[in-house]
Structure 1
């Protein structure tokens, strides 16, 4: 099975911008890209920097957007004194511990998880090595995916692997861009997945001692009912993002806007009165289309 490399957005961890982006293009189309780059090189460079920064801190494209669209804080100090149930407290603490684990390519369990992700994505294709140009077929920045995990750490790999194992048909539909009329310049699957993880962490205010925003507060109800609520919400969010991408006929420059629309819709669904568990979210059905 020969994997065809799709044209993608330059994804993350380098500052080389346009030069690394050319790796995504087939030789016969490089003239077209060069002509476009002549007029818009500064735009491409900015976009590459945006994906780079999304992994490393608050002054980021994705991170910056979420800073500008800050979670609405509870206006009442008294309301901040809400009490977690023992189950919610235990599961929130477990989730917060996961947030603090950086990806470490020297740890066997991290390398095994990355290998498992490859095997789930391309079961008929043998990976030649943990550092390999093959990773670009999944939408990583370069030959070593470990450089893309800055900012979200091991959790973002766990999210992708959970998606692949629990909803394989939907995972592969998004990975291989099988649904709908696709853009000529598609979002890179793996790096987009990391950004979805980042978006959820910010939206739910998970770095606080306990969520101080309404989406995060509502999420605690779901977490109390299902210990996998965050991972399932990730799968829902990623699938919703792809559906929004198609509905908006988006291309690489609209990725920020698509994430914003996805976040807004998730916040609305989390606030619905009849949502008592993760499976009650209307967008949960996206996982089975």
Structure 2
């Protein structure tokens, strides 16, 4: 089911991802072109890859995980399965913390308030926008605000570059980025089904906050693409597709051995 978020002439799409059970099927979605592009970069990155022949003759990778890597992936998947619940104290506190990080000088009047629109939520209740990304999308935003406060504030307040008259709403864009990364990395599968997903799992096994860090990189990259494309509200989906393609290319570069080797990591400021 899709939740379409946004208004005023454009649309942001966040597919409802939270379910009662993760998809553990082994169907591979990697194209033969990606295998060709990624195989050289994959030498020595810590996962064994066996390319199997598909029914239509295309080679598709299957990655075997170590027990430690399986454990890291399972812990991240457990986070993905947590829906935002406004009745849970931990979730309420996280939402209040996000407001405090975004607007430290402005008192929040309540978890349901017109003030939330200042951050780029659709309405006065942010919980309705978390349906597409779950609680982890709130965790991602909070991680961004706490670890890269300058970049977070620059994006929130649209401080950099020549901006469009019709800008993307910051918070809703953040939820969409969480969802996009989950899909791009195929995180609901039992093991990686693409070189991009396997590369990320290598990083995750070395840093349990790799997903949160990649989120920050992606958000900054998305805004960079937005400015480069001179985009406006209706162009958001095109910008997201461009961002995903660029991020995949950077993750598969041969000299990338950790997330801060990614060229777009340099866009972030603390």
| Post-superposition offset of 1:97 | 0.5
Q: Would the alpha carbon gap of residues 281 and 238 (structure 1) be closer, same or farther in structure 2, given more than 3 Å must change?
A: same
Structure 2 distance, partners of 1:13, 1:285, is 30
1:113-169 deviation per Cα after TM superposition (whole angstroms, max 9, x unaligned): 000000000000000011000000000010000000112100100000000000001
**Paired residue for 1:112?**
93
How many residues end up aligned between the 2 structures?
235
**Kept after mapping to 2: 8 A contact 1:72/1:214:** no
Q: CA distance change for structure 1 residues 99 and 72 in 2, over 3 Å: closer, same or farther?
A: farther
| 1:56 pairs with 2:16 | yes
Distance 1:54 1:246 in 2: 22
The structure in which a higher percent of residues are strand is 2
Q: Give the drift of 1:288.
A: 2.3
Q: Which residue of 1 aligns with 2:48?
A: none
Give the aligned partner of residue 231 of structure 2. Answer: 250
* Residue 240 of structure 1 pairs with residue 221 of structure 2: yes
Do the aligned residues in 1 keep the contact of 2:119 with 2:169 (CA within 8 Å)? yes
Structure having greater relative contact order (Cα 8 Å, sep ≥ 6): 2
Superimposed CA distance per residue, residues 43-93 of structure 1 (whole angstroms, 9 cap, x where no aligned partner): x2xx3xx43x52436xxxxxxxxxxxx653787338754322333222111
Aligned-residue RMSD, C-alpha: 2.1
* Alignment gaps of 5+ in structure 2: 18-28, 36-50, 54-59
**2:166 maps to what in 1?**
185
Question: Larger helix proportion, structure 1 or 2?
Answer: 1
- Name stretches of at least 5 consecutive residues in structure 1 with no aligned partner: 1-10, 22-43, 58-69
How many Å separate the matches in 1 of 2:169 and 2:144?
16
User: What is the 5 A alignment of 1:1-289?
Assistant: 13=5, 21=8, 44=9, 47=10, 50-51=11-12, 53-56=13-16, 72=31, 76-77=51-52, 80-288=61-269
Counterparts of 2:91 and 2:52 in 1: how far apart (Å)?
Answer: 41
TM score, norm. by length of structure 2: 0.82
Name the SS of the counterpart of 2:64 in structure 1. Answer: coil
Tell me how far apart the structure 2 counterparts of residues 13 and 110 of structure 1 sit (CA, whole Å). 21
TM-score of the two chains, using structure 1 as the length reference: 0.76
In structure 1, C-alpha distance between the alignment counterparts of 2:15 and 2:172, rounded to whole Å: 9
Bigger mean CA deviation after superposition, 81-90 or 94-103: 81-90
